[in-house]
A and B are shown apart, each in its own frame.
Chain A
Amino acid sequence: MHLKYESFVREPLVDGDKTYHDITEDIISPIEKKPGRMWYVGFFFSVALLMFGVFSVFWEVYFGIGVWGINRTVGWGWDITNFVWWVGIGHAGTLISAILLLFRQGWRTGVNRAAEAMTIFAVMCAGQFPIFHMGRVWDAMWVLPLPNSRGPLWPNFNSALLWDVFAISTYFTVSLLFWYSGLIPDFATIRDRAKTKFRKRAYGLASFGWTGTAKNWQRQEALALVLAGLSTPLVLSVHTIVSFDFATSVIPGWHTTIFPPYFVAGAIFSGFAMVNTLLVVTRKILGLEDYITVGHLEAMNKVIVLTGSIVGVAYLTELFMAWYSGVLYEQEAFKWRIMGPYWWSYWAMMTCNVVSPQLFWFKKLRRNIPFTFIMSIVVNIGMWFERFVIIVTSLYRDYIPGSWTYYSPTWPEVGFYLGTFGLFFTCYFLFAKYFPVIAVSEIKFILKTSGENYKKKMNVIDEKSIEEFVHEQAHH
């Protein structure tokens, strides 16, 4: 008897008449089968994109950063736009796994594994951009406080860019540890039912020799809870620090205190959109509709409409503050954003991020899978434009009209961006094939409170009087 009581009014989190063994079977058997043709097509297409990205980066490293379209006025172009975009996407995974764990949101169990994987891959992609933006990439380790023969000369710990190095690397490490500590028991499940020698050996190594004693589980839950507690401020700090890259400068359009919350909301917004993009496809291809239900997608769409509205308010607040501040440069910066040569990017951002998510106020649309999929892509296009607008349209018309310029990317910049898509999807395809896409042990844990077949039996409990229920619980 579970002590936690879930009302039968709540939608079940696991559909169908499932037993513990069915859960293992449903989630792990795709790993044991040969992948379908779609998987091969997708995987090789991703690898091809990745190769093109590697070539583009090679071109940039060999000839120097001059092959990019960035110039003296617009020093940050697609590279930093893409960096912020990918880091933002990376925020949903930890939000789902950490913050929703602390808030005891049962629905996170269906999506947390894939979302955390997405986080890790997205942060891997994000990290490439600032590193190769350095130009002399072989000196990249100078950002770390390593003993060196130049004094030793240390990095400047007062710089927001250095804080970023610490924030992103910590975020990556902690997300990876959190993710992997949850994967260990599931790898043990695969290992124990493995038929082939290779699988037994590989998953034996990956499971670290986990056997699942009562004490093991007790420690595992304690670890998950504390890591969630650590990750919650961490996930908020990471995009806050990314926003400091801009907010601590004196560029009109960047120098504003609204940036940290505005960036964090935008990050969660784009991250949930990416989770929806991936899961709508994953649940279909792997046949996991019973575990990632329409209810799960709806919950994420609700987060999207909330964070989308926060982002919308932030955009309007920025405009208001530019006018209210009375600072000419600030006002001009926003005037050029809206009406200058880059007007199209500002309006693309406004349409995709502020107007279109409002459609999710309709329950019918929130629960419509094709619409969710299209919206998830629209949101990410909008969020890319947001970063482009913030970066490029704040820079291209600076204080001296003589240095005003127009920036457009060259092929190595575009190739680099496409290459990170290749990296991201290559990793995701491998993950979907070799890893349990859903946290098996966590789903088993919630089955008896939130499984459809168990929910049906709960109607009986709700009909009982409170005294009767308490009596039964106390004397069980």
Chain B
Amino acid sequence: MAIKKFAVAAYDDEEVLFPAVKKVRNSGYKLHDVYTPFPVHGLDGALGLKETDLHVAGFIYGLCGTSTALGFMSWIFLSDWPINFGGKPHFSLPAFIPVTFELTVLFAAVGMVLTFCYLNQIMPGVKKHVFHPRQSDDLFIIVIELNDHVAETEVLDFMKSTGAIETNVQTAESEWWYGRWDQKEAYELS
């Protein structure tokens, strides 16, 4: 939990956003984050973000599902309670394939979605500061973190020069917290 001061700039076109992101990164100001209403391809690259490893996690969860299913069914039919089904072998791999496949998919999907929520820090009841009410509608928002070493007006002027249609300074919680979206937080009211 840390309440910080931010300079917020809104752009109305992704074609203006890309050069602006480049300029902000070169300027040396501390870029907090960029908020967009839909996935803008290439933005992660422009921000220098690494490719996500979520799919690797998914693969590992899938393997867990495969081994759980095969291990569990084999244990049941070979050791825990072997039953003779029409003289067929106890370890009847072809008959285990459907359940094994389904559990692989199930584990991978559930695991990935939970990991996705964990990494993005999203969950029912989580609240985060929304810098602009239209950041999920039609505006692209660049947020720069302010500190004692930079002048507010300088940063705002710089952001305007990159093509922002709207700029302002906000004091906000930089992390997530538990809260209700219909209630304002103490720092938001002041």
A residues whose Cβ falls under 8 Å from a Cβ of B: 1-3, 19-21, 24, 145, 151-154, 156-158, 162-163, 166-167, 170, 173-174, 177-178, 181, 184-185, 188-189, 191-193, 197-198, 200-201, 203-206, 208-223, 225-227, 230-231, 233-234, 237, 241, 244, 441-442, 444-445
Contacts and interface: CB of A to CB of B under 8 A. Distances in A.
B36 A214 contact: yes
A158 B180 CA distance: 49
Contacts of A173: 106, 109-110
B165 interface: no
Contacts of A221: 39
Contacts of B135: 192, 211-212
B29 interface: no
Contacts of A442: 38
B138 A219 contact: no
B37 A222 contact: no
A179 B129 CA distance: 25
Interface in B138-187: 138, 176, 180-182
Nearest to A448: B14
Given A154-B80, A222-B54, A226-B112, A212 B37 contact: yes
Nearest to B143: A213
Interface in B65-123: 72-73, 76-77, 80-81, 83, 85, 88, 92, 95-96, 98-99, 101-103, 105-106, 108-110, 112-113, 116-117, 119-123
Nearest to A211: B128
B52 A218 contact: yes
Interface residues of B, number: 69
Contacts, number: 201
B4 interface: no
B112 A20 contact: no
14 contacts: A3-B42, A24-B137, A163-B99, A181-B113, A184-B122, A185-B38, A189-B136, A209-B126, A213-B33, A214-B44, A217-B38, A218-B49, A226-B58, A234-B105
Given A209-B123, A219-B119, A445-B38, A20 B137 contact: yes
B23 interface: no
Contact of A205 (B73, B83, B103, B124): B124
A467 B41 CA distance: 25
A211 B132 CA distance: 10
Contacts of B109: 173-174, 177-178, 227, 230
A184 B125 CA distance: 13
B101 A158 contact: no
A163 B119 CA distance: 33
A189 B39 CA distance: 14
B56 to A, nearest CB: 10
A222 B102 contact: no
A201 B180 CA distance: 6
A183 B151 CA distance: 40
Contacts of B112: 223, 226-227
A160 to B, nearest CB: 8
B134 interface: yes
B44 A218 contact: yes
A151 to B, nearest CB: 6
Contact of A212 (B83, B124, B136): B136
Given A216-B120, A241-B98, 20 more contacts: A21-B138, A156-B85, A163-B98, A166-B103, A167-B98, A191-B136, A201-B181, A205-B181, A209-B122, A212-B36, A214-B43, A214-B44, A214-B49, A217-B44, A225-B55, A226-B108, A233-B101, A234-B105, A237-B102, A442-B38
A241 B100 CA distance: 13
A219 B120 contact: yes
A208 B42 contact: no
Contacts of B99: 157, 162-163, 166
